[in-house]
Amino acid sequence: MEFTEIVRQHGCAADDWFRDAMLDLVLAYATERLTGGPPKLPDVSDLRLLQMALRIEEGEFFERRPAEISSLIQAQFDSILQDGVIDDAEDLYVVELQAAFGLSYDQLMTLARPAVERAVLTLRTGIGIADPWTDANCRSALEKLAALEPTYLLVTARRRSLGALY
């Protein structure tokens, strides 16, 4: 028997408690798979399969679990930006992460904002304590900061609302 048929048989498909329980299940799975190591594409692919099986709709996480999804997205961006750079593999991972949680690009950037701001602040702090003309680490930080600038401009383009969770 298919999942949708079982849910329909028990009449709980539209119940808020059931939708919330499905989201919590996926979030627990995502937290287990996505934390504690470097980002891996198969982990996100498995997450997408689970959501398709449970019929999680696009935008449902952002609407019903904004704080939880924000925390998870920020942790992923913190991990990705640990070296101050988003390489091609990490960029693909971010795209898959966005799709896995049914987020629009603007929603993803809103949720990632604190992590990107922290990475930029770390790079700027590193530059401020050294001479950029003689210190190789400082030059590297300047290059990373320049590469991260477009992402930083995107995440900071919108004003934060009062009381924002992210």
- How much is the pLDDT for 11? 72
Residue at 65 is within a domain: yes
Residue at 71 is within a domain: yes
Residue at 56 is within a domain: yes
Token digits for 96?
A: 């898959």
- How much is the pLDDT for 72? 93
Q: How many domains is the chain partitioned into structurally?
A: 1
At position 150, the amino acid (one-letter code) is P
At position 68, the amino acid (one-letter code) is E
Which range marks the domain in which residue 21 is found? 3-155
- How much is the pLDDT for 75? 93
Token digits for 107?
A: 């929603």
- How much is the pLDDT for 71? 92
Helix intervals (H) in 54-104: 60-64, 66-80, 88-100
- How much is the pLDDT for 119? 92
Residue at 166 is within a domain: no
- How much is the pLDDT for 112? 92
- How much is the pLDDT for 165? 57
Residue at 151 is within a domain: yes
**The whole model's pTM is what?**
0.81
Residue at 80 is within a domain: yes
Helix intervals (H) in 81-104: 88-100
Give mean pLDDT in consecutive 10-residue pieces for the chain, a chain of 166 residues. Answer: 73 78 92 82 86 87 91 93 89 91 91 92 75 64 86 86 58
d(CA 7, CA 83): 45
Residue at 160 is within a domain: no
Residue at 69 is within a domain: yes
Q: Do 87 and 43 meet the contact criterion of CB atoms below 8 Å apart? A: no
